[in-house]
Amino acid sequence: MAKKSDHRRKLEAEAASKPDTKSPGRGTWRLMDRGSALAAGLLAQRASAITWRVVTGKKPPTSGRHPDVGTREAVAWAVVGGAIIELVKVGVRRGTATYWVKSTGKLPPGMKPLKASGKTKEPVPEEPAPSHTSTKKVSRRSRGR
């Protein structure tokens, strides 16, 4: 029994001496991402309604299919509302991802780095010019074998 308690004390001492450097994982990112999407949706509805009121001076149409709402007004509301909603969602979700990167120093789980960024682009080696001295014909079947 003395061996078990000694071993347990050693493990506890090691665990206490090590700093807790566990970084947030996939579950934390999912929670943040979904929360930001929900917040963006609520914020976007208000932003589009306020924008509509400022621009037109009227309440936004509640239903695009109602006969009292003109076709132009319904289409304009769909375009303006949709654009504002998407802009707000993109802004909020990008802000959340940027916060994640600043906090953890890594991209969110499941997000891959873009290959087309200007700083990390590797130079493409140039292929030598084809030599016209060889006139050997290759059939289509034998190509790539």
Query: Which structural domain, as residue segments, surrounds residue 40?
Result: 25-104
Distance CA 78, CA 11 (A): 62
**Distances in whole angstroms, Cα of residue 72 to Cα of each of 62, 79, 91, 104, 133:** 14, 11, 28, 48, 69
Distance CA 28, CA 54 (A): 38
Does 123 fall in a domain?
no
Task: Write down the residue that tokens 């006969």 correspond to.
Answer: 67
Residue 122, SS3?
A: coil
Distance CA 41, CA 91 (A): 11
Q: Is the model's pLDDT at 64 over the cut of 80?
A: no
pLDDT at 56: 86
Does 30 fall in a domain?
yes
Residue pair 52/80 in contact by the 8 Å Cβ criterion? yes
Distance CA 122, CA 137 (A): 35
Does 88 fall in a domain?
yes
Tell me the per-residue pLDDT of 80-129, one tens digit each, with 9 for 90 and over: 888 988 999 899 999 999 998 998 888 888 888 888 655 554 555 566 55
Does 63 fall in a domain?
yes
The 10 Å Cβ neighbour count of residue 61 is 19
Domain count, the chain: 1
Tell me the per-residue pLDDT of 130-144, one tens digit each, with 9 for 90 and over: 555 556 666 666 655
pLDDT at 26: 85
* pLDDT level of residue 16 (50, 70, 90 thresholds): low
